[in-house]
Chains A and B, each alone.
Chain A
Amino acid sequence: MNVLSKLTVIGVLLALTACTNPADLGDGNAVDLNGAGAGAGSGLVSDPTSPAYFNQAIGDRVLFSVDQSTLSAEAQATLGAQAQWLLTNTDYNATIEGHADEQGTREYNLALGARRANAAREYLISRGVAGSRLKTVSYGKERPIEICSDEACYSKNRRAVTVLTTDLTG
């Protein structure tokens, strides 16, 4: 993916959502009704303390192989940067959403999503983020972001998305 063109697209999205107030992040569910880590987040990508920076410049999600919850080197790099950000921006907590592709039963995919979310959480903890700031939830195959029935879509749906929240219930 060409980073520049990606950022351009994001810039357009931000223009449309520029009025979003960071305080709105307080309702963990309202941020992400689709469980897809949707939206560019608030603030400007150019501001390293903004959720937009976290979501887009760092990347809010990591991807997994079929049936797997092991973290690739790329996933570890993303999570490492997420951990750094969370250590700096302590106003934010996170809920990590685990997802699966549609190839599997509903029950198994729920359990698999739980595994993936936990793998991401454990990695963030290993990099210094307090476990009390990190919740996990599995959506199994209930919330795909890509809807084709090919590996091109499946690979993007097998994901763990770190969704920033400002609720401090831990």
Chain B
Amino acid sequence: MMRFLTSLVLGAALLAGAAQAQNQPLRITIDEGIIEPLPYAAPNFVPDSPAAAEYAAEIARVLADDLTGSGLFREIPSTAYISQVTSFDAPVQFADWKAINAQALITGAVSVSGNRLTVRFRLWDVFAGAELGSGLQFAGTTDGWRRMAHKVADAVYSRITGEGGYFDSRVAFVSESGPKDQRRKRLAIMDYDGANVQYLTDSSSIVLAPRFSPSGDRVLYTSYQGGFPRIHILDVGQVQQRVLQSQDGTMSFAPRFSPDGQTVLFSLAQGGNTDLYAMNIASGQSTRLTSAPSIETAPSYSPDGSRIVFESDRSGTPQLYVMSASGGEATRISFGQGRYGTPVWSPRGDLIAFTKQSKGRFHIGVMRTDGSEERLLTASFLDEGPTWSPNGRVIMFTRETQGASGRAALYSVDISGRNLRPVRTPDGGSDPSWSPLQK
């Protein structure tokens, strides 16, 4: 279970002698305009042994899945290649790659020694005939090969878009099985692309809505263990959990970490009324942030920790409000037709993602933090619970299908509303929480 956290030590080193590109014409600017995916070629990384060849092929596949899956890149199939890359250090035949309109070329090498795996790569701007950035080398144990592939993809994405990547990240979620009226739920964690699923709880109690800590080492969630919903905190590396919040005669749910990881925001229901509280994890002291007869729930901090966006039905229907992190007066920010819930502040600070229910349909949407420029990204029978990718460019959420055989699954969509994709999970899945990029 601890494989990723302890046994994989990734070393990154600049490769000597890499050429510096003067200007960087190879660039995708991510905005709301239509993007034609950038065509690239990634010939199999050159292996130094038959064992390395197997890893090279797998790494190439994960790299391509990451880049193509982002919706920003299009892989040129190897059948179109004019030249092959048989040596990592041989000069690149730019004309051959230009001829098949590969704007970017990724070359690499893989070597294996015992259980040590080393991956080197270079990114080339084919039309400029120059390297983009410097060559990089990642080294670790062989069972970390997927992470190395994700790290290469993050580097490529980052160099071409000028923004951070999101591929070397994990997702905590609720694995669901069984029919709607006997749904079994287990807390699980996996790579962002659905690989390496680990189960963290059994299905003896209902578990809901895990939330990663800002450093990715802990997960908050709600569990019915003991018969009532209470907030639990789990150490991901040790797979040890404990009850964080428990007060007789109350229910606590909808927890979320503060950006510094030291405070938990949550909802507490007492006497039928649900309000927001903040708890210092170290001291266990809670501060009440709202006290109204209405429902206040689903709180989320701004990335600087100064403000909280939350959901309240104080106006008669659930809407979104922003207040200071210390509580007090709240400003309503949602004014469209319908009901709004589960607001989540983007890690970039620029947008708030939310669930919207309107005319019998559910949507995932984004708006500016003052409520302006609302845009709906999805529509279905039931979409809910958005979570942001570490770079604030992609949103993952739960989609549940209609009717007696309804099933929950994870989907992702980018913030322009393009590239809607199912996320592969072994069973059904719900309530995703995206981790920060792994170190």
Contact = CB atoms under 8 A, between A and B. Distances in A.
A108 B318 contact: yes
Q: How large is the interface on A (under 10, 10 to 19, 20 to 34, 35 or more residues)?
A: 35 or more
A23 interface: no
B180 A111 contact: no
B311 A107 contact: yes
Contacts of A102: 382, 400, 406
B336 interface: no
Given A102-B382, A105-B355, A107-B209, A148 B404 contact: yes
B269 A114 contact: yes
Interface in A100-127: 102-108, 110-112, 114-119, 121-122
B342 A105 contact: yes
Contacts of B267: 107, 110-111
A119 B271 CA distance: 9
A67 B295 CA distance: 11
Contacts of B313: 67, 108
A149 interface: yes
Contacts of B70: none
Contact of B269 (A110, A121, A145): A110
Contacts of B273: 114-115, 118
Given A110-B251, A111-B295, A147-B181, A142 B341 contact: no
Interface in A53-111: 67, 69, 95, 102-108, 110-111
Nearest to B404: A147
A43 interface: no
Contacts of A46: none
Contacts of A136: 272
B298 A114 contact: no
Contacts, number: 112
Nearest to A102: B382
Nearest to A95: B227
A145 B272 contact: no
Given A108-B295, A114-B272, A149-B406, A143 B181 contact: yes
Nearest to A29: B227
B209 A106 contact: yes
> Nearest 5 CB-CB pairs, A to B?
A118-B272, A114-B269, A111-B274, A105-B341, A111-B295
Interface of B: 179-183, 206, 208-209, 227-229, 249, 251, 253-254, 267, 269, 271-274, 295, 297-298, 311, 313, 317-318, 339, 341-342, 355, 357, 381-382, 384-385, 400, 402-404, 406, 431
Interface of A: 28-29, 34, 36, 67, 69, 95, 102-108, 110-112, 114-119, 121-122, 135-139, 142-149
Given A67-B313, A105-B342, 14 more contacts: A36-B181, A105-B355, A105-B384, A107-B254, A107-B311, A108-B298, A108-B311, A110-B297, A115-B274, A135-B249, A137-B229, A148-B403, A149-B402, A149-B404
27 contacts: A28-B227, A34-B182, A102-B400, A105-B298, A105-B341, A105-B355, A106-B384, A107-B311, A107-B341, A107-B342, A108-B297, A108-B311, A108-B313, A110-B229, A112-B295, A114-B251, A118-B272, A137-B229, A138-B251, A138-B269, A142-B206, A147-B404, A147-B406, A148-B404, A149-B381, A149-B402, A149-B406
